[in-house]
Amino acid sequence: MENADLIRKRPRSVNFNPTEEAMLLQLVKKFRATIECKKTDVLNNRIKDAAWNQLAEEFNAAGGQGRDAKTLRSKYENIKKVSKKKFANEKRYLNATGEGPAKKIITTDVDEQVKELLGTGMESMVDDDCEGKITFFQCTSQCTNENSESQRVI
């Protein structure tokens, strides 16, 4: 029974070092438009697979431990997941009410690079903490100057 379990286990590879992680993120930045595309149809998935294969070739050409596209893709997804979790926790602590200062989450250069790659969420035009009235200016098609804008007050 023990021998059967040993045979089924997948072979482990060497852990990624910080240099390899940085190189992976630099290459992902190069292929960002393809890799981070939200479309998931057959054609786009093939394009993404080709981009990951090209990325793996460039990664392995730079030296170090040889990695396949599947390994690099899963490592990138894992880095992204961990970084998103850190930033979500930091945001949650900043918005928490209670006594004492907000808890500071320790972020690394890798986390900052991932944040740069993914960007931040969309900024809201309306802030819930605003006191007073909010005025929006909407320009109509006949609008020629600031005086002809219509105002809407909330």
Domain that holds residue 26: 11-121
In a domain, 147, yes or no: no
- Given this model, what pLDDT does residue 65 score? 83
Q: Using the structure block, give the residue that is written with the tokens 């909330």.
A: 154
Q: How many domains does the chain have?
A: 1
How confident is the chain (154 residues) per 10-residue block, as mean pLDDT?
Answer: 66 87 92 89 94 95 88 93 84 71 70 72 58 54 46 46
- Given this model, what pLDDT does residue 150 score? 46
Across 1-145, the runs of DSSP E, i.e. the strands, are 135-138
In a domain, 79, yes or no: yes
In a domain, 138, yes or no: no
- Given this model, what pLDDT does residue 93 score? 72
In a domain, 64, yes or no: yes
- Given this model, what pLDDT does residue 127 score? 56
Looking at the whole model, is its pTM more than 0.75? Answer: no
Q: DSSP assignment of 55-75, as one string? A: HHHHHHHT-SS---HHHHHHH
